[in-house]
């Protein structure tokens, strides 16, 4: 399957948007980890990221004001890099058992809850627009 | 010494693009679209690599570049959460529960394998 020059440029554009978003998102998570020592930094980044991604995904589905490129830079690039599963899992494994159970449960419950709050915000926006 | 922010950012740019590529590739292979195999794959593989560099005692620069940057960005908690909520609300509640459990069990298995390899 041969691809046209336009398709190749589009792929390059997407890669660029995802890379730039990823650069910024991971740096903000790093700032969180310095500002909030221990498990709190990753927890805060993961929950905030869930809230924002929940809003963006449901905004795209229900409202559709934002351009597709915003999705690549903000959702795929920035927010997916701002949040992390690997650090979360490794931190849980390296914590005492009771702390680990509480940390995993709290991150799951607050993360899923934050997605629902993001969905709620997108529905409010849907009502306004 | 390189400022950690450059290392984290450079690793993250690569990690984010690799996550995008992995998702495209794996979701193209998977026949059962109800289970988000792409995000599951990056979360398990990224946890394995992060644990491996950590257990092998990598220095601060490598941990910033590969750990916080590349692995931190390659894996994602936000997409995982949105996937789970979407499965739940579309009625695939068993799949949603299994997906939430499988990500953690897979990450645990990856970390366990990394630990075993690091003690060889």
Q: Is the pTM of this model over 0.90?
A: yes
Mean residue pLDDT across chain A: 96
A contacts of B77 (beta carbons < 8 Å) = 46, 49-50, 83-85, 88, 107, 111
How far apart are alpha carbons B37 and A106 in whole angstroms?
Answer: 24
Q: Kindly tell me if the per-residue pLDDT of B48 is higher than 90.
A: yes
Question: pLDDT over 90 for what percent of chain B?
Answer: 88
B contacts of A52 (beta carbons < 8 Å) = 78
Q: Kindly tell me if the per-residue pLDDT of B28 is higher than 90.
A: no
What integer pLDDT is reported at residue A129 of this predicted model? Answer: 81
Q: Kindly tell me if the per-residue pLDDT of B25 is higher than 90.
A: yes
What integer pLDDT is reported at residue B1 of this predicted model? Answer: 66
Pick from A13, A126, A76, A108: nearest CA to B104? A108
How far apart are alpha carbons B25 and A88 in whole angstroms?
Answer: 25
Indicate the pLDDT class of residue B30, thresholds 50, 70 and 90.
Answer: confident
How far apart are alpha carbons B77 and A108 in whole angstroms?
Answer: 9
Q: Kindly tell me if the per-residue pLDDT of B75 is higher than 70.
A: yes
Q: How far is CA B52 from each of CA A63, B48, B63, rounded to the nearest angstrom?
A: 43, 6, 11
Residue A18 in contact with residue A77, Cβ under 8 Å? Answer: yes
Mutate to test the interface with A, among B42, B73, B116 (most CBs of A within 10 A): B73
A124 and B CB contact within 8 Å: no
Mean residue pLDDT across chain B: 95
Q: How far is A128 from chain B (nearest CA, A)?
A: 23
How far apart are alpha carbons A25 and A32 in whole angstroms?
Answer: 11
B contacts of A122 (beta carbons < 8 Å) = none
What integer pLDDT is reported at residue A3 of this predicted model? Answer: 85
Q: How far is B24 from chain A (nearest CA, A)?
A: 12
Contact between A20 and B13 using a beta-carbon 8 Å cutoff:
yes
What integer pLDDT is reported at residue B72 of this predicted model? Answer: 97
Q: Give, for A46, the enclosing helix (H) or strand (E).
A: helix A40-62
Q: Kindly tell me if the per-residue pLDDT of A63 is higher than 90.
A: yes
How far apart are alpha carbons A81 and B71 in whole angstroms?
Answer: 9
**Backbone φ, ψ for residue A94 (5° rounding):** -85, 0
């Amino acid at each position: 399957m041969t691809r046209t020059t336009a398709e190749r440029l589009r792929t390059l554009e997407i890669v660029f948007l995802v890379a730039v978003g990823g650069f910024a998102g991971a740096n903000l998570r790093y700032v969180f980890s310095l500002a909030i020592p221990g498990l709190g930094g990753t927890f805060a980044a993961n929950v905030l990221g869930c809230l924002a991604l929940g809003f963006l995904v449901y905004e795209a589905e229900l409202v559709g004001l934002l351009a597709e490129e915003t999705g690549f830079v903000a959702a795929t690039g920035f927010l997916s890099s701002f949040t992390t599963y690997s650090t979360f899992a490794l931190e849980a494994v390296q914590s005492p058992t009771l702390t680990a159970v509480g940390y995993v449960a709290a991150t799951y419950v607050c993360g899923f809850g934050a997605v629902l709050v993001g969905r709620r915000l997108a529905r409010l926006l849907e009502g306004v627009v | 010494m390189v400022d950690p922010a450059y290392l984290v950012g450079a690793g993250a740019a690569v990690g984010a693009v690799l996550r995008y590529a992995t998702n495209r590739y794996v979701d193209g292979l998977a026949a059962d679209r109800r289970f988000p195999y792409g995000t599951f794959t990056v979360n398990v593989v990224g946890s394995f690599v992060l644990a491996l560099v950590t257990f092998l005692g990598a220095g601060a620069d490598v941990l910033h570049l590969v750990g916080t940057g590349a692995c931190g960005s390659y894996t994602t908690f936000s997409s995982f959460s949105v996937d789970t909520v979407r499965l739940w609300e579309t009625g695939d509640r068993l799949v949603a529960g299994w997906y939430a459990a499988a990500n953690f069990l897979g990450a645990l298995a990856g970390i366990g394998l990394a630990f075993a390899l690091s003690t060889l």
